[in-house]
Structure 1
Amino acid sequence: MGAVAIDKFDLKILAHLQREGRCSNVELADAVGLSQSPCLARTKRLKQLGVIRGYGADIALEKLGGCVIVFSEVTISSHRRHDFRKFEEAAARHPEILECYNVSGGYDYLVKVVAPSVARFQELMERLLEDDIGIEKFSSRIVLRQPFENRAYPLGLIRDAATLR
């Protein structure tokens, strides 16, 4: 399913929910300039369309103890659809792999891994290699620090003008 038609109120709802996901419908309606009933109907519609996938807590990992964040560039040996699917299904089975992107360029996937230590990250990569899922090689970058993080998508910039009524 492609892009869905949204208007300025839908964008306001999405932008506010990115910042304040636990707000009540009353607060949301007030923030976006709608009455409560239409605001609730729009929010439900955005959920039904799959634009709003869910809500979650923003966890401060550093408060929970040590961990390592690693970005790995993964190259697979064969480029048939089945080979991509095989890698993706295997990667999805590991909770340490938080994000997986099929990318263009010098490698096939960029994966973000969070592990309790470098040794545990290495164990994960060794398991993936032993699983014989088509990994030809991988190259990893350990995150030293994270100067900033912006979890809110720049909705006004990425929306397609044709989908906005």
Structure 2
Amino acid sequence: MSHPDKRDIEILKVLSGEGRITKAALAERVGLSPTPCWNRQRKLEKSGVIESYNARINLKKLAPHVTVFVAAELADHTAASFRAFEASMADYDEVVSCWALGGGYDYLLQIVTRDINAYQRLIDEMLEARIGLARYFTYVVTKPVKTGGAPPLDLLVRKEDSPS
């Protein structure tokens, strides 16, 4: 896909905040007629810019839970060790996000479990599974401040100002 234009960015901004919006409402919000808007949306989907549409769940209303961030260090820093650790993340449903990091720690994991005891059982299971985890640092979320925000699309795709 070629570089998204201003209309594509507007479509993406609306969809990232309101994934269930109707096609007609989306077209109205971005100032296009329905057919061109739908064609642009399909083009964004086919190119992989739009990966999926998801529901944001309010876990507080659903069940007791705790969110924990874990800074993880691996015992071994070989490519095979990184691949094995990354592949093992698929085995743990409680790991909702995992990012490889540059710098001090190797990975940052976001874990959601029922309580701290369930979190500790998960960590013990990971250690026993010998997935390469050498050290881990636990950070318990006490309250969400800002979550699930849409990425700053305008800032990410803005063309550099031309020189004067």
User: TM > 0.5 between the two?
Assistant: yes
Match of 1:116 in 2: 114
More deviation in 146-155 or 130-139? 146-155
Match of 2:81 in 1: 83
- 1:85 Cα deviation from its structure 2 partner: 1.1
More deviation in 110-119 or 124-133? 124-133
Cα deviation, 1:11-63, whole Å, max 9, x if unaligned, reads 00000111221111111111111111111111011111111111111111001
Equivalent AA in structure 2 for residue 146 of structure 1: P
- 1:124 Cα deviation from its structure 2 partner: 0.7
CA distance in 1, matches of 2:41, 2:92: 32
Q: Equivalent residue of 2:40, what SS?
A: helix
Q: Sequence identity of aligned pairs in percent?
A: 36
Match of 2:61 in 1: 63
- 1:119 Cα deviation from its structure 2 partner: 0.6
Give RMSD over aligned pairs.
Answer: 1.5
Equivalent AA in structure 2 for residue 25 of structure 1: K
Match of 2:98 in 1: 100
Question: 5+ residue gaps in structure 2?
Answer: none
Equivalent AA in structure 2 for residue 152 of structure 1: A
More deviation in 3-12 or 92-101? 3-12
CA distance in 2, matches of 1:126, 1:161: 48
The alignment covers a number of residue pairs equal to 160
- Residues 4 and 127 (structure 1 numbering): CA distance in 2 closer, same or farther, change over 3 Å? farther
- 1:159 Cα deviation from its structure 2 partner: 1.9
- Residues 119 and 150 (structure 1 numbering): CA distance in 2 closer, same or farther, change over 3 Å? same
Query: Which residue, out of 35, 38, 51, partners 1:37?
Result: 35
Q: Equivalent residue of 2:130, what SS?
A: coil
CA distance in 1, matches of 2:136, 2:26: 45
CA distance in 2, matches of 1:146, 1:24: 30
CA distance in 1, matches of 2:54, 2:148: 15
- 1:4 Cα deviation from its structure 2 partner: 5.1
CA distance in 1, matches of 2:2, 2:132: 36
Match of 1:149 in 2: 147
Show structure 1 runs of 4+ deviating over 4 A.
Answer: none
Normalized against structure 2, the TM-score is what? 0.92
Question: 5+ residue gaps in structure 1?
Answer: none
Q: Which of 1 and 2 has higher RCO (CA within 8 Å, sep 6+)?
A: 1
Query: Which residue, out of 13, 17, 26, partners 1:15?
Result: 13
